Amino acid sequence: MPGQLKEVRNRIKSVQSTQQITKAMKMVSAAKLRKAQDAIIQMRPYAQKLQDMLSNIVSNSDGSVSMKLAAERPVNKVLFILVTSDRGLCGGYNANLVKLAKQNIEEQYAEQNRKGQVEIWGIGKKGSEAMLRAGFKTNDTYRDTFLKLSFETVQQASAAAMDAFVKGEYDVVELVYSQFKNAATQMFKVERFLPIPKVANTTPGKTNADFIFEPGKEELVAELMPKILNTQLFKAVLDANASEHGARMTAMDKASDNANELLRSLRISYNRARQAAITTELTEIVSGAAALNS
């Protein structure tokens, strides 16, 4: 019985120590989430407006301007940019992103995948490592982007993807990331990064925006396209950064609640074992006293 009590006490101490860690991680993630949330909220309207403008320019192009980044061609080689986190302990966040990437490859690019023409660029260690274990061709050049998150570091990955697309190394570039809604909700998305998607005008009586270019359309398009695409990828990475902290905060909050339930159960078991030990000792004392009196 004493051995059983000691075992339960040790388990209670272990769970309490774990709970302290989960509470601390929740507080750290909550502090980081505020900063990450402010960054994406400020960035999102600007990025969305740029994306709309870029899509309208591509849709209204009459072929007089060279748009290499919007060139559509038969899909033989595919690149996926998978944005995940560097660390775990954030619930199903990374697993859901990896699952979405695999599902999209199976549904949209199964033939290319069989030929080994699908490559994964991981931004964040978890996605890159998971896809490598799954047998996909991966490139981990940009997986440490979150160690020093800035527009310049993200731009390196974006510029490399654009350069590879223009050279014909890839025919399609897909972006897999998590769009931040709130601390408890993330939307896992696959978006076409290259070629630049066109706007589908399906509203009767509505026309696409008609831009006036100054000094010239050719010069402005060549300058604007890369900058807008850099902004789009940076926006996706900021979304992912906020989503990660929200998911980790939620996961650690649930872990702390589960620890409370487990502690409650262990304390009940400890008290029952202690009461049983006391009852046994009292029974032995009474039996001994009765034996002496007889």
Point out the residues that are catalytic.
90
d(CA 237, CA 200) in angstroms, rounded, equals: 26
Contacts (Cβ under 8 Å, ≥6 apart) of 47: 231, 232, 234, 235
Q: Which amino acid is at 265?
A: S
Distance, CA of 60 to CA of 198 (rounded, Å): 9
CA atoms of 161 and 229, how far apart (whole Å): 10
Residue recorded with tokens 């409370």: 260
> Do residues 101 and 81 make contact, with C-beta atoms less than 8 angstroms apart?
no
CA–CA separation, 82 and 131 (whole Å): 9
Name 253's Cβ contacts closer than 8 Å, sequence gap at least 6: 26
Q: Are 47 and 38 in contact (CB under 8 A)?
A: no
Which two structure tokens, joined as six digits, stand for 85? Answer: 């986190």
Q: DSSP assignment, residue 137? A: E
CB 178, CB 83: distance < 8 Å: yes
- 62 vs 202: CA distance, rounded Å: 19
Strands 118-123 vs 185-194: parallel, antiparallel or unpaired? unpaired
Largest CA distance in the chain: 117
